[in-house]
Amino acid sequence: MQERAFWVSPGRGEIRTVDVAEPGPGQVRVRSLHSGVSRGTETLVFRGAVPVDQHERMRAPHQDGEFPGPVKYGYLNVGVVEAGEPALVGRTVFCLHPHQTAYVVAASEVTPVPEQVPATRAVLAGTVETALNALWDAGPRLGDRIAVVGAGMVGCSVARLAAGIPGAEVVLADVDPTRAEVAAALGVAFAHPDDVPGDRDLVLHATATAAGLQRSLELLGPDGEVVDLSWYGDEPVTLELGGAFHSGRLRVRASQVGEVALARRHRRTRAQRLALALELLRDDAFDALLSGASDFDDLPDVMADLASGRPALCHTITYPGGPR
């Protein structure tokens, strides 16, 4: 079968025809309904900004091509199984697959979407999985004073999940004042990073900027920790560590979704983590993260627009024949 997929080279996107085989034993063919653009990572890929030493580590599942491009990239896809394993035929599923009209993967690589979760919202599964993993890494406690710096897709997801911790005081911070509306929909306080009260027990950072990481450190109380979810691509990061960093015994460490957080790595598989993320998406507050939609054929222009700096959370892509 011939299908269509989105490919990128540095600064340019195009839709190409691709061959898709019939599913074999243990496989399924998925007809895409929606995919989501992970703005931070995908625009870095679009700009050709993946560092050479990270080319292998930053490969997406089912990626074709090599960095810097042309490459078929993406990992937030929701579709319907139309052929293959009988138990899955007709089910709506999530898959870490690039933007493509239909594709064949192993049945073990798709995760059924709970009936109560709309297909459009389900594209956030990979993002909520990242947020879940970050909180497993961070290990927040009851009553913690928590700041989330950066109100993008990941930061907003972290804030919503952290808000469910009994007694926790959660502030979502961003330089964009329009994100206050999103914070309100998520049920968390909002502030400009400069206005967040200090003495935080925990800060989760997701701006992918040196300034955001610096401010995150400044917000900590003694012995506090910054968990950094950002991917900086080929941008160098410079921090001022001559202040309270040393005397306050502050810590900064990375959280990345490629591995299950160490605190759960021996008790949860990646598949279990993703299934839990989809269950968490029963919460309709996450609809606040869906900030626009376009047709699949418009994806080259959409990606160029997002890469140029247009503000967005999760921009969704609708496929031919799918519900709008």
Which amino acid appears at position 143 of this protein?
A: G
Which pLDDT does position 299 carry in this prediction?
A: 97
In this prediction, residues 185-213 reach a mean pLDDT of 97
pLDDT digits (tens, 9 = 90+) for 102-144: 999 999 999 999 999 999 999 999 999 999 999 999 999 999 9
Which pLDDT does position 324 carry in this prediction?
A: 40
> What percentage of the chain reaches a pLDDT higher than 70?
99
Which pLDDT does position 30 carry in this prediction?
A: 98
**Residue 316 in this model has a pLDDT that exceeds 70:** yes
**Residue 42 in this model has a pLDDT that exceeds 90:** yes
Residue-range domains of the chain with CATH: 2-124+281-318 (3.90.180.10), 127-254 (3.40.50.720)
Question: What is the distance between the alpha carbons of residues 260 and 271, in angstroms, rounded to a whole number?
Answer: 10
Per the prediction, the chain carries an average pLDDT of 95
pLDDT digits (tens, 9 = 90+) for 2-37: 999 999 999 999 999 999 999 999 999 999 999 999
Contact 96, 109 (CB under 8 A): yes
Q: Which residues of 5-18 are buried (b: 16+ CB within 10 A; e: fewer)?
A: bbbbeeeebebeeb
Which pLDDT does position 322 carry in this prediction?
A: 55
Selection from 128, 63, 130, 56 nearest residue 100 by Cα: 63
Contacts of 132 (CB under 8 A, 6+ apart): 161, 273, 276, 277, 280
Which pLDDT does position 57 carry in this prediction?
A: 86
pLDDT digits (tens, 9 = 90+) for 220-242: 999 999 999 998 888 899 999 98
Question: What is the distance between the alpha carbons of residues 317 and 314, in angstroms, rounded to a whole number?
Answer: 10
Classify residue 19 as exposed, middle or buried by CB count within 10 Å of its CB (0-12, 13-18, 19+): exposed
Which pLDDT does position 5 carry in this prediction?
A: 98
Q: What angle do CA 277, 94, 159 make, to 5 degrees?
A: 30
Tokens of 175: 């330089």
**Residue 215 in this model has a pLDDT that exceeds 50:** yes
Specify the residue for token string 């960093």: 245
Task: Give 226's strand partners.
Answer: 203, 252
